[in-house]
Structures are given as C-alpha cells and as structure tokens.
Amino acid sequence: MTDLSAHHAVITGGGTGVGAAIAKVLSDAGALVTLAGRREGPIKAVAETLPRAQAIACDVTDEASVDALFEQAAASFGPVTIAVANAGAAESAPFGRTDLAAWDRMMAVNLTGAFLTARAALGPMRKAKAGRILFIASTAGLKGYPYVAPYCAAKHGVVGLTRALAVEVAKDGVTVNAVCPGFTETPLLQESITNIMEKTGRDEAAARAELSKGNPQGRFIQPEEVAETVLWLCSEGARSVTGQAISVSGGETQ
C-alpha cells in the first residue's frame, strides 16, 4: 500500500470529477491535500470530507494567482511535494467557426494553466531533490478528435511539456508525467452529452453510445481509475517512470 503521509499534494481543479477523485485517493494514502479551483464552494465541500485538507481559490490562467496558491499552501501545510495540474475545460465547434477567443480560452486553461502550475511547484522540489509533477492531459493529447481542435492542440502541448520538462529535471529527483484519460464520467462529459443531444436531437442513451464507441471496452473511464494511476505515479515504485503520457482509455490509444 502506498504511504504518502510525508507528502503534501496540490491539486488544481479539485472540486469535481477527476480532481476530487485524486484528492480522495491521495488523502486516503496519507497525504496532506490542498484543493484549488476558481469556485470556492466545490473545493471547500471536497476538503471538508477529507481528514487533512484545505481549499484555496485559484485561477490557473493567472500567474499571480497560481504563485499565491503555492505560497499559501506551503505556509499552511509545508512544502509541496506533489503537484497535480488537473484544471481544464473543453469547448466544441467546427474548425471554420472557431474564433481566436475560443482558441485563447482553451490554451489559457489547458496549457498555460499547466505551465504555471508546474513552474510554481518546481523550484522547491528541485531544492529538495524530490517531487512529483503530474499533468492530467487527455487522449486528445495523443490523437485527434473532430470539432475540438483547440482542445486537442492544447492537450498535445501538455504532452510535449511533460516530455521536455521530464528530461530537464531528471537528475533533480523530480518526475514529470501526463495521465491521458479517454472520455471520463465527469460533469465535463455530461456537458458534451448535453451538447450532442441539443445539436443532433438524439436522446441521452444515443449520445452516450456515440461517445463511448471509441473505447474498445465499450464504456466510459471512471474518475477513480485516473486517480489510482496518479497514486501509482506518486509511489516510490514509480520513481523511474518519467516523461510518459499514460493512456487510461480502455485501449483507445496505444
């Protein structure tokens, strides 16, 4: 059983879905947990269910906000040894109707947010010669999907960031990895299902079938499966695993 009792994890986008599942799994392993998100209500609600957790409002697209998050988290719970850049968002539209504002929004939250989170976490980790940086990317960082070109581009960027940073800090005791889930049972997935229903007139069952058919197992990924992958990457047994983009997708990508 992985023991993280000596660790402090910061998780962005920690109020719902995958972020909340990661917070619970790391907390169950003994870690101190700082949950971050733009909305205080959800992160506070999750923090209240965990024995050693705090919630700090943060906008990952804002440099000062991210830096303040890590400073406040460390002041309360000690040095951050695990950073999980999970905050993200997805919008869909045909490429020809995708404007620059939509492109910028997807880059800001999915890629710039990941960069700012890693940068804020890295300094103390390098000094300590130990740490884990984990990006929650997507199979959209490993392949293409129609109607979400900016999202795919941003997630491909996260995978590239993972690989470059991992090599740069390999001798500093810090590992850097990306976890790439397929369609996962989260509020973000439900938004996609609702969007399909509204645009195509299909019922929910048909919309779900359309999204799940790309998974060879014929199902959606569960948030807990993503969280368990993160837990393993935080373990001592994964200390030689770095620079990887690990697909959690039922075989959709290989």
pLDDT of the residue at 144: 96
Predicted confidence band of residue 86 (pLDDT cuts 50, 70, 90): very high
Give the domain ranges of the chain: 8-182+222-237, 185-220
Residue 127: in which H helix or E strand, if any?
A: helix 113-128
Least confident piece of the model among 20-24, 59-63, 109-113, 198-202: 198-202
pLDDT band for 26, please (50, 70, 90 cuts): very high
Looking at the structure, give the CATH architecture of the domain made up of residues 8-182+222-237: 3-Layer(aba) Sandwich (3.40)
Beta carbons of 206 and 198 less than 8 angstroms apart: no
pLDDT bin (cut points 50, 70, 90) of residue 124 is: very high
Would you state the structure tokens that stand for residue 164, as one six-digit string?
């470059």
- In the predicted model, is pLDDT for residue 185 greater than 90? no
Percent of the chain with pLDDT over 90: 85
pTM given for the model: 0.94
User: Which ranges constitute the DSSP H helices of 179-219?
Assistant: 187-200, 204-212
pLDDT of residue 210: 83
pLDDT at 1 over 90: no
Say yes or no to pLDDT of 98 above 90. yes
What's the pLDDT at 111?
A: 98
- DSSP 3-state assignment of 4? coil
CB neighbourhood size of 195 (10 A): 15
pLDDT digit string, tens, across residues 190-207: 888 888 888 888 888 988
Find out whether 15 and 223 touch, Cβ atoms under 8 Å: no
Q: Which residues contact 178 (CB under 8 A, 6 or more apart)?
A: 134, 135, 136, 137, 141, 158, 159, 162, 244, 245, 246
Does the pLDDT at position 42 exceed 90? Answer: yes
Maximum Cα–Cα distance across the chain: 55
What is the average per-residue pLDDT within 36-52? 97
What does the pLDDT average to over 2-23? 97
| Catalytic machinery residues | 151
pLDDT digits (tens, 9 = 90+) for 56-82: 999 999 999 999 999 999 999 999 999
pLDDT at 196: 83
**Residue pair 51/29 in contact by the 8 Å Cβ criterion:** no
What pLDDT, on a 0 to 100 scale, did the predictor assign at position 190?
82
User: How much is the mean pLDDT over the chain?
Assistant: 95
d(CA 132, CA 205): 39
Percent composition of the chain: helix, strand, coil (DSSP 3-state, to 5): 50, 15, 35
pLDDT tens digits for range 151-173: 999 999 999 999 999 999 999 99
